[in-house]
Chains A and B, each alone.
Chain A
């Protein structure tokens, strides 16, 4: 058949590549700002939109969706066209994808620092942005599948399979985890509550790692590693087994994030078993990648790109060995809530994702511009600085995790906790936090060298769409052929339709059905557990806005060490009115599940303004604006109505009288603060410069109301029984 001439769309690859670079630097910088807060907790004092709880979600979202996301798309657009010997199916969809994605990132970069977030990790964006994400993702998916349909090569190379699985799976995960009912334009509540929300969140959270940070990067590995090494993948057969076994196993491993929590035991066991099985496909893939370089190790010594790939693939091997190990309950009991997990994920992101994408950029950008890399030497230096940066980041974090976990669990012979003051376990690991910040600085330095190198490389060159030629596939008409029976036609043409139809019906049906099911869901309810008061709802929303859940958990596991430290362990029924759940995943500070009633209101007032005033050596940043800000409870009607629609039993009367109820409880707390001499506290005087203010109008009373309520519903009874 006669060859056709066509052009690869390299301009879209160029756009995504530069977006990767720009957002990569942004993500690393924000990460560093957060890391340095552990060292100098007050260097951004008083600036609410640069506070830890708001920057941390910005860092994770920027790293995952902006840096890795754009990197994936750059590599996907470059390799898909070349592997399938066709231009992307629709330039318009490519453009919608690119500009839509950047618009979403900009919106995220504005809203997250403003405190507009849902609190669910890696799904913090509020509902209007969620809708945009879904739409842009559909544009990408359609474009990708359409390109596969239009291909000029019969065989679909394994990398494309990885891309397709990413596109399909992320769409489903993202939509179901982000089902939420809006109260206002900028505030929504998850349709799931408590344990249910936790299950869906970590099913999503785990699969975001699986299908956003792993499968697409594996696709890139299967294209760019052979290309850079100039030799075929070690075993193509193994890559096929790797792909299919990986995607079938990955989706079941989510509950390993919730071991020892209030999630049913059988679900935890299921999560553990599948997590263990994951080691086989993961290591199959890792070995396949590394062995591709067999016989080319002499080139690895000189080529910075191959070196980066070696570290990336090794990091993949390390984190996918560690993942299954961490899914063992006994190991998880130690690692969960500590910096061990932070180390684990940074081996994955800095090593596996970061180095694979940056190695890809070093290889791809010069080719896009039809030139040569400006400086190989500089790239080699980047590799070494980056690698040392990774080591200096993760090793201290491993040590910090182990140290702190063991301190949390250590008892005196008389049965009391050896380190009963949580602060002692933080002070111990501070030097390790400093080292981490230095490691991160080195990693960013390396990335800046990449920017300089790439800018120098492309100077004076332009990207033109690359021409190529290939014979078209023998056309198979889409309509039913004469003599062809229906079943054959369906088989021939129908797979795509089947898949698309399945997705459409599943999403459409579920979106309608799920909220109604969840409202009547029959979690064992504890009679003593009551909905939050209107003021407590406002306080909880401040807790979410400030991202308190980034450092404080609300989940006491059934260990003696935790029960001793925090109080009775958490039960599923205690969370039924928590939309969303706020279990957290990291204890930089202590658990707050049973914070209610532990300390006086005045303590919280002073502590929030200046934590070190109440807790010597505290590294919690000052949240002074919560003390100074006026409480805006104008949306309380809408909020309560939304929660009621989700099944929280507020009466019509409560909703009608909400503002009055807010005021009443606020006045009680303000009165208690005043009765205890708040006006004499240095924090009060510093905040209001000697002026007398009505504290019941300030945000702090709402937050105190919420904190004092935490975990008290079930423990109150015990206290009265004792009396």
Chain B
């Protein structure tokens, strides 16, 4: 059953890649702030929106 070992081997490599990415991102401080990113993604920075103030209420202030 070499195929089983092959799939396990490739899966391990994938897992290893993800582990490296994970450790790297932890070290990079990616997960130190587990709140702001969820709010920041709601803000638009697009120029055209300023011309169209109608659409600018894309924010969380209605919470």
Residues of A within 8 A of B (CB): 5, 8, 82-83, 85, 153-158, 164-165, 168-169, 172, 176, 192, 195-197, 199-200, 203, 223, 226-227, 230-233, 236-237, 239-240, 244, 247-248, 251-252, 254, 263-264, 267, 295, 370, 466-470, 491, 495, 498-499, 502-503, 506, 510, 514, 517-518, 521, 523
Contacts and interface: CB of A to CB of B under 8 A. Distances in A.
A467 B48 contact: yes
18 contacts: A154-B29, A169-B14, A203-B11, A223-B41, A226-B42, A227-B58, A230-B58, A230-B62, A232-B42, A244-B22, A251-B14, A263-B4, A264-B1, A295-B63, A466-B47, A467-B48, A518-B2, A523-B1
Contact of A172 (B2, B10, B22, B30): B10
Contact of B21 (A239, A295, A499): A499
A503 B7 contact: no
A225 to B, nearest CB: 11
Contacts of A154: 29
Tell me the interface secondary structure of chain B in the complex: helix
B9 to A, nearest CB: 8
Nearest to A520: B2
Contacts of B7: 176, 199-200, 203, 254
With most chain A CB atoms within 10 A of its CB, the pick from B11, B14, B34 is: B14
Range for the number of chain B residues in contact with chain A: 35 or more
A539 B13 CA distance: 39
Contacts of A510: 6, 10
B54 to A, nearest CB: 9
A502 B14 CA distance: 9
B47 A467 contact: yes
B37 interface: yes
A439 to B, nearest CB: 36
A157 B37 contact: yes
A232 B34 contact: no
A192 B4 CA distance: 11
B48 A370 contact: yes
A474 to B, nearest CB: 14
A506 B2 contact: no
A199 B6 CA distance: 10
A236 B34 contact: yes
A704 B21 CA distance: 54
A303 to B, nearest CB: 14
A295 B52 CA distance: 27
A521 B2 contact: yes
A236 B6 CA distance: 36
Nearest to A169: B14
Interface string B1-29: 11110110011011111101110110101
Given A223-B41, A295-B63, 5 more contacts: A165-B18, A196-B1, A200-B6, A510-B10, A518-B2
A248 B46 contact: no
B21 A252 contact: no
B42 A230 contact: yes
Contacts of A495: 20-21, 24
Contact of B39 (A5, A8, A158, A232): A232
Interface core residue of B21, B38, B48, B63 (most chain A CB under 10 Å): B38
A223 B2 CA distance: 41
B3 A168 contact: no
A40 to B, nearest CB: 41
A503 B14 CA distance: 8
A267 B4 contact: yes
A230 B45 contact: no
Contacts of A230: 42, 57-60, 62
A471 B1 CA distance: 54
Given A165-B18, A244-B22, A247-B18, A155 B13 contact: no
Contacts of A197: 3
A157 B36 CA distance: 10
Nearest to A165: B18
B15 A470 contact: no
B41 A157 contact: yes
Given A200-B3, A506-B10, A467 B17 contact: no
Contact of B27 (A470, A491, A502): A491
Contacts of B33: 155
B48 to A, nearest CB: 6
Closest 4 CB pairs of A and B: A196-B3, A232-B38, A236-B38, A495-B24
A164 B44 CA distance: 23
B17 A503 contact: yes
Contacts of A252: 11
Contacts of A470: 45
Contacts of A196: 1-3
Nearest to B9: A510
A517 B6 CA distance: 10
A236 B38 CA distance: 6
A153 B36 CA distance: 13
A226 B11 contact: no
A237 B38 CA distance: 9
A468 B45 contact: yes
Chain A CB within 10 A, most for which of B7, B33, B42, B44: B7
B39 to A, nearest CB: 5
Contacts of A239: 38
A2 to B, nearest CB: 15
Among B40, B41, B45, chain A packs the most CB atoms within 10 A around the CB of B41
Contacts of B4: 199, 263-264, 267
Contacts of B21: 164, 495, 499
Contacts of A227: 41-42, 58
A227 B60 CA distance: 10
A495 B29 CA distance: 14
A518 B60 CA distance: 58
B20 A499 contact: yes
B1 A467 contact: no
A603 B52 CA distance: 73
Contacts of A498: 20
A189 to B, nearest CB: 15
A233 B38 CA distance: 6
A514 B5 CA distance: 11
